[in-house]
């Protein structure tokens, strides 16, 4: 049955991995058809456009019903073909629309050209126009043929029969909007760790004699998924306040030592960036700061002796009862970190039968922990197959929790997981569990989790960053009565629930602020599936050879501290939609080569003072929707940014020479975050689309800008700072302005006030919020405000 556009817009979103791209195409071809008369397409070419639209509608309808569980290879191949076709179509249509807009602007500007000059240019102009029309005609015919081929392949594969015969369908139930468990409260994952907590507390807190006052290292060792991270995080939460300085850092098999030490320093000495950003300089700074202090450092997921040798060099010996806690899968490394004293090596054990069952049932059925009689035998089999490992237990439980009473679902899960974890935990056994969890996801969530393959293994990812990147990529489709950001957040929590991403920072309301990816999930699922799907191409500087897809769509350059890393010379960059870069700034490729970028994530560092980096060419990326730059060097921005008409998110965590004056006229900007000391140009009242405004300095910005905040009525998240000491006069003035502003921001959900002056600390009273010293007393707040 052929679906009309109206029917497509109202039906359930299709489940192809990037359905957001293909759903936009019929409307874009409509616009092209309406412009066909002005671009004077070659004879017969315009007639192809309605046919392409019809074929796209058929493909969208097919995708909405297609299941992958049976004949998975054929389904994946067909989806991949359709996804690549939709990417190529969108690239073509966006380039055409941009060129047409530029030609129109040039035409308006060029009306003053004299007749003589115009006649001189007539022949080259005609040739260029003809070349463009031939290019358009060839592309449209190509797309028509490829769409027909996709439909024909669907018929030959008999995929309609597959759609109707899937033995186990993925569920797309209502997703949670917050995470119920937090590291600061009771959580199901903490089942069975009481004895381990007690033993490790004794090892870490022994201070009764002079020997125990020296720096002591304790190590937790055990197979991946056994609960080392959960235990370490709970110890950190419980004991951390007893130490003057503390930090929790993550390493990996290919660690970026600079980033690890930056993370460590930011925790033991917050709000004071280092003067020297080299690894050697960071080590020296950390040693100096910790020298006479009692500290607790947790080093998560150690893999190599060389990494441990570098880390421990930053942590000074003293008689302050300082402690280091490491976690690792390698027993020899655990012994080495503890000076070969087995007393300080804690060997994690799998959960016993009772605790395994308690964890599983509470994860499936909730607080009642009751299993229906007809499921008791099969639940026993499933629990045994998980081998007492908490991560597999809660991962499998999350698959069953959406339909806990459905017998055939339990039968499918029981058959899908093998017995390898029961006798001897292996990565292959874990892969079976994670594959099952991944395959249980709806297709749009598969795209979201595969997207995290852009990030390095040991990195902490901010939830808002990830959600806004999904939105910029077009993964999220609006639903009636729900905002896209709200839907994207629900996707995030669904992945948290499935244990495919793990929460790191959680606020007092139970909202996850940041997350990380378990190394097993990253290596066994995300990277493998990304290669299969040609979804993300990640290149590490240590890779000798790299197998590249014909067209790289998402590129992650993980260059670390390498000074000579380069982008593979044979790589075609013109089709890249997302670029993520981590490394030294001189290794960053020219951004202008990636002319079709939608998402740009840059983390680069310079080792010399007074370095500036010119990123003015970014304004040529007409499709750019998301831009985040983190750096220790000064950024030179272009004086104008109005060319970035599609930009939705701009986050800069670096010094900037100045802010472009026309930033206030970017029509689609939703999220803006700049360094605290940055002054925005006058006119921010024009930025009425803003939902997030970060680090707005109410002291250094103009009074006009401060007052204009009240015009940003769509703001949901406002972060205010004050960079200078306040006079009593200014305090009174700002108090008046803030009270008058907040009353008008009816959509505000989160307000943060952070004084950069040390004498202004934040405190919260019963009737409002006070910045000590009389800076601001908020007597009334917007109705939606839930975070202060």
Report yes or no: 228 and 326 within 8 Å, Cβ to Cβ: no
Give CA separation, 643 vs 371, 640, 685, 689, in Å.
59, 8, 20, 17
- Per DSSP, helices labelled H in 15-121 are 19-34, 36-39, 48-65, 72-109, 115-120
CATH topology of domain 351-428: Helicase, Ruva Protein; domain 3 (1.10.8)
Residues of the chain with CATH 3.40.50.300: 188-347
Q: What is the number of residues in the chain?
A: 788
What is the arrangement of strands in the sheet containing 626-631, beginning at the earlier edge strand? 537-540, 554-558, 578-584, 599-605, 626-631, 649-653, 671-673, 692-697, 717-722, 750-755
Neighbours of 149 (CB within 10 A): 13
CA dihedral sign, ordered 453, 454, 455, 456: positive
Mean pLDDT for 710-723 is: 88
Q: How many helices (H) and strands (E) does the chain have?
A: 27, 23
Report yes or no: 686 and 665 within 8 Å, Cβ to Cβ: yes
Domain 188-347 has CATH 1.10.3720.10: no
CA–CA distance, 764 with 267 (Å, rounded to integer):
23
Residue 769 pLDDT grade (very low, low, confident, very high; cuts 50, 70, 90) = very low
Residues of the chain with CATH 1.10.8: 351-428
Q: Which residues of 248-265 are buried (b: 16+ CB within 10 A; e: fewer)?
A: bbbbbebbbbbbbbbbbb
Could you tell me which of 405, 419, 342, 338 has the C-alpha nearest to residue 375?
A: 405
CA–CA distance, 725 with 722 (Å, rounded to integer):
8
Residue 168 pLDDT grade (very low, low, confident, very high; cuts 50, 70, 90) = low
548-572 per-position pLDDT tens digit: 777 899 999 999 888 888 888 888 8
pLDDT of residue 41: 62
Could you tell me which of 213, 170, 207 has the C-alpha nearest to residue 67?
A: 170
Mean pLDDT for 378-402 is: 92
pLDDT of residue 167: 46
Structure tokens belonging to residue 384? 């045994």
pLDDT beyond 90 at 234: yes
Give CA separation, 317 vs 213, 313, 314, in Å.
10, 10, 10
CA–CA distance, 506 with 779 (Å, rounded to integer):
27
120-158 per-position pLDDT tens digit: 556 676 777 778 788 888 999 999 999 999 999 888 877
CA–CA distance, 334 with 54 (Å, rounded to integer):
62
DSSP secondary structure of 310-362: HHHHTS---SS--EEEEEES-HHHHHHHTTT-GGGEEE-----HHHHHHHHHH
85-111 per-position pLDDT tens digit: 999 999 999 998 888 777 766 555 555
420-458 per-position pLDDT tens digit: 888 777 888 888 899 999 988 888 899 999 999 999 988
Of 720 and 472, which is predicted with more confidence? Answer: 472
323-361 per-position pLDDT tens digit: 999 999 999 999 999 999 999 999 999 999 999 999 999
CA–CA distance, 686 with 714 (Å, rounded to integer):
12
pLDDT of residue 150: 92
Backbone phi, then psi, for 168, in 5-degree steps?
-150, 110
CA-derived radius of gyration, the chain: 28
DSSP letter (8 states) at residue 678: P
35-59 per-position pLDDT tens digit: 766 555 666 677 888 999 999 999 9
Q: Considering only 494-498, 658-662, 681-685, 773-777, which range has the smallest mean pLDDT?
A: 773-777
pLDDT of residue 149: 94
* Burial grade of 341 (CB within 10 A; 0-12, 13-18, 19 or more): exposed
3-state SS class at 555: strand
Q: Considering only 187-191, 228-232, 353-357, 505-509, which range has the smallest mean pLDDT?
A: 187-191
CA 128 to chain centroid: 42
Residues forming a β-bridge with 231: none
pTM above 0.85, yes or no: yes
Mean pLDDT for 71-85 is: 83
């Amino acid at each position: 049955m052929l679906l009309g556009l109206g029917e497509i817009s109202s039906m359930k979103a299709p489940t192809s991995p990037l359905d957001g791209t293909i759903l936009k195409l019929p409307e874009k071809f409509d616009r092209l058809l309406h412009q066909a008369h002005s671009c004077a397409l070659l004879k017969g070419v315009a007639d192809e456009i309605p046919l392409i639209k019809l074929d796209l509608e058929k493909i969208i309808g097919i995708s909405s019903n297609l299941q992958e569980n049976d004949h998975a290879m054929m389904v994946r191949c067909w989806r991949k073909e359709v996804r690549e076709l939709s990417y190529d179509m969108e690239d073509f249509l966006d380039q055409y629309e941009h060129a047409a807009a530029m030609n129109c602007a040039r035409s308006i500007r060029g009306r003053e050209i004299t007749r003589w000059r115009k006649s001189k240019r007539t022949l080259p102009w005609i040739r260029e126009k003809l070349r463009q029309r031939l290019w358009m005609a060839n592309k449209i015919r190509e797309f028509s043929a490829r769409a027909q081929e996709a439909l024909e392949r669907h018929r030959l594969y008999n995929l309609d029969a597959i759609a109707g015969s899937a033995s186990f369908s993925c569920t797309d139930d209502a997703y949670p909007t917050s995470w119920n468990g937090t590291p600061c409260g009771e959580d199901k994952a903490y089942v069975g760790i009481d004895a381990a907590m007690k033993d490790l507390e004794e090892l870490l807190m022994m201070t009764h004699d002079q020997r125990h006052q020296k720096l002591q290292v304790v190590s937790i060792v055990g197979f991946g998924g056994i609960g080392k991270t959960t235990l370490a995080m709970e110890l950190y939460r419980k004991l951390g306040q007893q130490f003057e300085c503390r930090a929790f850092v993550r390493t990996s098999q290919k660690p970026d030592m600079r980033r690890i030490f930056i993370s460590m320093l930011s925790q033991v000495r917050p709000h004071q960036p280092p003067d020297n950003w080299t690894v050697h300089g960071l080590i020296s700074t950390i040693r100096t700061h910790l020298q006479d202090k009692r500290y607790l450092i947790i080093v998560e997921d150690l893999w190599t002796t060389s990494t441990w040798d570098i880390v421990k060099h930053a942590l000074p010996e003293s008689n302050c009862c300082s402690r280091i806690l490491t976690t690792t899968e390698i027993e020899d490394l655990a012994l080495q970190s503890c000076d070969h004293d087995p007393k300080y090596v804690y060997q994690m054990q799998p959960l016993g039968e009772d605790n395994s069952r308690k964890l599983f049932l509470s994860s499936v059925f909730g607080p009642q922990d009751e299993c229906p009689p007809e499921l008791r035998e099969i639940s026993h089999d499933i629990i045994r197959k998980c081998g007492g490992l908490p991560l597999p237990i809660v991962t499998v439980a999350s698959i069953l929790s959406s339909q806990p009473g459905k017998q055939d679902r339990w039968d499918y899960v029981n058959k899908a997981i093998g017995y390898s974890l029961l006798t001897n935990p292996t990565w292959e056994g874990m892969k079976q569990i994670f594959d099952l969890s991944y395959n249980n996801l709806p297709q749009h969530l598969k795209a979201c989790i595969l997207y995290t393959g852009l990030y390095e293994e040991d990195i902490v990812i901010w939830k808002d960053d990830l959600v806004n990147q999904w939105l910029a990529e077009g993964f999220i489709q609006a639903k009636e009565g729900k905002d896209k950001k709200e839907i994207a957040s629900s996707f995030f929590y669904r992945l948290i629930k499935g244990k495919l991403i793990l929460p790191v920072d959680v606020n007092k309301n139970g909202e996850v602020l940041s997350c990380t990816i378990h190394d097993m999930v990253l290596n066994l699922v995300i990277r493998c599936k990304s290669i299969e799907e040609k979804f993300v191409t990640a290149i590490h500087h240590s890779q000798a050879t790299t197998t590249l897809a014909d067209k790289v769509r998402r590129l992650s350059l993980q260059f670390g501290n390498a000074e000579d890393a380069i982008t593979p010379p044979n790589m075609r960059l013109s089709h890249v939609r997302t670029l993520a870069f981590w490394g030294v700034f001189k290794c960053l490729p020219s951004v202008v080569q990636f002319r079709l970028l939608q998402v740009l994530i840059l983390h680069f560092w310079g080792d010399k003072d007074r370095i500036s980096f010119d990123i003015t060419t970014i304004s040529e990326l007409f499709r750019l929707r998301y831009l985040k730059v983190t750096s220790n060097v000064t950024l030179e921005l272009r004086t104008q940014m109005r060319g970035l008409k599609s930009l939705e998110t701009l986050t800069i965590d670096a010094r900037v020479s100045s802010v472009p004056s026309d930033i206030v006229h970017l029509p689609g900007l939703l999220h803006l975050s700049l360094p605290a000391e940055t002054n925005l140009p006058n006119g921010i009242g024009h930025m009425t689309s803003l939902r997030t405004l970060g680090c707005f300095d109410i002291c250094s910005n103009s009074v006009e800008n401060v007052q204009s905040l009240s015009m940003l009525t769509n703001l949901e998240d406002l972060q205010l700072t004050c960079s200078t000491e306040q006079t009593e006069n200014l305090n009174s003035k700002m108090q008046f302005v803030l009270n008058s502003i907040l009353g008008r921001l009816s959509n505000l959900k989160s307000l943060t006030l952070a004084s950069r002056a040390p004498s202004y600390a934040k405190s919260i009273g019963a009737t409002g919020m006070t910045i000590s010293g009389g800076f601001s007393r908020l007597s009334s707040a917007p109705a939606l405000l839930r975070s202060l």
